[in-house]
Structure 1
Amino acid sequence: MRVEIWSDIACPWCYVGKARFEKALAGFAHRDAVEVVHRSFELDPNRAEDDVEPVLTLLTRRYGMSQEQAEAGEDRLGAQAAAEGLDYRARGRDHGSTFAMHRLLHFAKEQGRQSELLDALYRANFAEDRSVYAEGAERLVELAAAAGLDAGAARAVLADPDAYADAVRADEREAAELGATGVPFFVLDRAYGVSGAQPVEVFAQALEQAWGERAPLLRPVGQDEAQACGPDGCAVPQN
């Protein structure tokens, strides 16, 4: 069974939702038969790479919040993250373009290190003091290396603005076709969609339901007793 997760590094609910989904998956009896694929979704796709601003400023400007409301919202998010065992820095974070990070995640997928890089990017964005936006490509190269990727190869990807750009845009188009207007967005075997950072119990239920209702690879047609050959030989005509 395949689970596809559309998310953005700048999305705090994606950070929390990934942890909740993984708890559900850890308790799923068929977890070793589940392939998890992370797909790209930018919350701010038109933001320039050098356009970086504090998260609290973004909240007050975009959503018309007061400073106190923005701070209270960040505190509540921090409590939700803490409940899942995640660190969360509610003050001093910034916001910027995530396009380069998504390109790097597609490279990491080819190397079998996608989930590790995503975790490293989430930790850096939500829990660490240093910025994943303001410090430029070398900060991302450092995180890629920490996730087990070759630093030189990661640097080459980031230096080429076209590298994996089409893959990012294809993911985003597909999200729109599936009706996703926000993230996280989980798609189970292209049969079930789960929106948002749902409780662990909801993800567990979705996994069980999707597994139980999977269509067989082939649907039998005809008679079960029709002549055929097998490990014990071939059926001999009786008439």
Structure 2
Amino acid sequence: MRVEIWSDIACPWCYIGKARFEQGLAAFAHRDQVEVVHRSFELDPNRAKGETGPVIPMLAKKYGRTLEEARSMEEHVASNARAEGLDYRAEGRDHGNTFEIHRLLHLARACGRQDELLNLAYRANFAEERSVFDAETLLELAVEAGLDADEARAVLADEDAYADEVRADEREAAELGATGVPFFVLDRRYGVSGGQPAEVFTQALEQAWQGRAITPIGADAAACDTDGSCEVPQPGAHA
């Protein structure tokens, strides 16, 4: 059984949702027969390459909040991440165009190192003092993930390398009706949207395996949408 996950490295709920999905997968009896493929989805495709800015002011402007309110929003997301055992810096992160990391992730998939690079990129973006929006950092992450440095450097230098693959993923997401991420597709028959609890993913996997229709789930699950914004559930709300 194949599970395809559309996500963006800039999306905190993709970071959290990946951890929750992996917990749900670990509890699935047939987990060794599941192939996981990560697909590209840009939250902010219109942002110019190299144009970055701090996350807190971006959130404040997007939601019409004060900087202090934006910090509180980020702290709430951080608490969800930490509850899954993930490190998360609520301040000091940048936001930018993620097309380059998606191209590199396609190279990593071709080399059998996609999950390794994705994990490193999430950690660099959300937990460490490392920007994923410059070529030097991306090259470092690629090498850490086990990719050949010269091959990764060549891909980053060639703007056309794997660009078609990224665009194809994004077209497929639109065709499947995905308006936000994370978005999970099981065997091209069933879909699960948002950073669901681990047990929901286990249930979805079991139902997909048995070939039964999945009851629509996840309408209230946190996700990030195509204008670059992310839902931030209030304390006490389902996340």
Quote the residue 1:122 is aligned against.
122
1:109-136 alpha-carbon deviations (Å, 9 max, x no partner):
0000000000000000000012122xx2
- Cα offsets for 1:32-91 (capped at 9, x unmatched): 100000000000001111210000111112221211221011101111001111000001
> 2:65 & 2:167 partners in 1: Cα distance?
31
Shift of 1:184: 0.1
CA distance in 2: counterparts of 1:46 and 1:98, whole angstroms: 10
TM-score norm. by structure 1 comes to 0.87
Could you say which residue in structure 2 is the equivalent of 1:195? 193
Residue of structure 2 equivalent to 1:97: 97
The aligned residue for residue 152 of structure 2 is 154
Aligned to 2:219: none
- Residue number in structure 2 paired with 1:33: 33
Give the whole-Å Cα distance in 1 for the aligned partners of 2:149 and 2:61: 37
2:22: which partner in 1? 22
Structure 1 segment 214-233 matched on structure 2, within 5 A: none
RMSD: 1.1
- Asked whether the 8 Å contact 2:184–2:192 carries over to 1, the reply is yes
Q: Distance in 1 between matches of 2:114 and 2:17?
A: 17
Matched residue SS, 2:192: strand
Identity of aligned residues (%): 72
Query: Gaps spanning 5+ residues in structure 1: where?
Result: 215-239
SS in 2 for 1:10: coil
- Alpha-carbon contact 1:138-1:155 (below 8 Å) kept: no
TM-score (norm: length of structure 2): 0.87
Partner of 1:230: none
The corresponding residue for 1:213 is 211
CA separation in 1, counterparts of 2:119 and 2:198?
A: 18
Between the aligned partners of 2:137 and 2:48, the Cα distance in structure 1 is 18
Distance 1:65 1:96 in 2: 20
Asked whether the 8 Å contact 1:52–1:96 carries over to 2, the reply is: yes
Contact 1:101 1:140 in 2 (8 A): yes
